[in-house]
């Protein structure tokens, strides 16, 4: 159950990156149509992820991945500049996301032991 929910976390982040990219590049009506479709997918998968994983965790990861993703897109697709500061904040953010995943796993182990 837990692992299946992490797939929803990955999907919701992926859809988020697609529509954010779409927002920056959409030109014709069907581009905007696709953006809306991905926003709808995103709004469907986000609560799905929250069914078995704490909402605080899911939302922080959602916001974090969106931020790192847009920063990277900015550098590679829209010719923004990379700086040491950006790389440091990105590293800190990613460390936080990994830490959060590990912290929640530990919590599940503890609960399992409590049951047994």
Partner 1 sequence: MGWLFVFLAAVSEMVGVVGLKLYSQNKTIRNGSIYIGGLGAAFAFLYASFNYLQVSIAYSVWIGMGTAGAVLLNMVFFGESKNAARIVSLIAIVIGVTGLKSLS
Q: Which residues bind partner 1 (CB under 8 A)?
A: 43, 46-51, 54-57, 59-61, 63-64, 67-68, 70-71, 74, 80, 83, 85-86, 88-100, 102-104, 106-107
Sign of the alpha-carbon torsion through 49, 98, 66, 63: positive
Give the three-class secondary structure for 44. helix
Minimum Å distance from CB 33 to partner 1? 19
Smallest CA-to-CA distance from 56 within 110, 96, 27, 22 is with 96
Phi, psi (5° rounding) for residue 58?
A: -60, -45
Of 25 and 59, CB closest to partner 1: 59
Give the three-class secondary structure for 81. coil
Minimum Å distance from CB 90 to partner 1? 6
Of 22 and 64, CB closest to partner 1: 64
Minimum Å distance from CB 31 to partner 1? 19
Distance CA(51)–CA(42), nearest Å, equals 15
Of 25 and 83, CB closest to partner 1: 83
Minimum Å distance from CB 116 to partner 1? 20
Of 16 and 18, CB closest to partner 1: 16
Is 65 in contact with 13 (CB distance < 8 Å)?
yes
């Amino acid at each position: 159950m837990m692992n299946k929910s992490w797939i929803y976390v990955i999907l919701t982040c992926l859809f988020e990156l697609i529509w954010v990219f779409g927002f920056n590049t959409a030109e014709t009506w069907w581009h905007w149509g696709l953006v809306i479709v991905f926003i709808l997918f995103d709004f469907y998968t986000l609560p799905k992820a929250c069914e078995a994983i704490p909402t605080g965790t899911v939302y922080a990861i959602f916001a974090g991945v969106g931020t790192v993703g847009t920063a990277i897109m900015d550098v590679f697709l829209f010719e923004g500049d990379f700086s040491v500061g950006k790389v440091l904040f990105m590293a800190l953010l990613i460390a936080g996301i990994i830490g959060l995943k590990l912290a929640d796993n530990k919590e599940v182990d503890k609960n399992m032991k409590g049951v047994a």
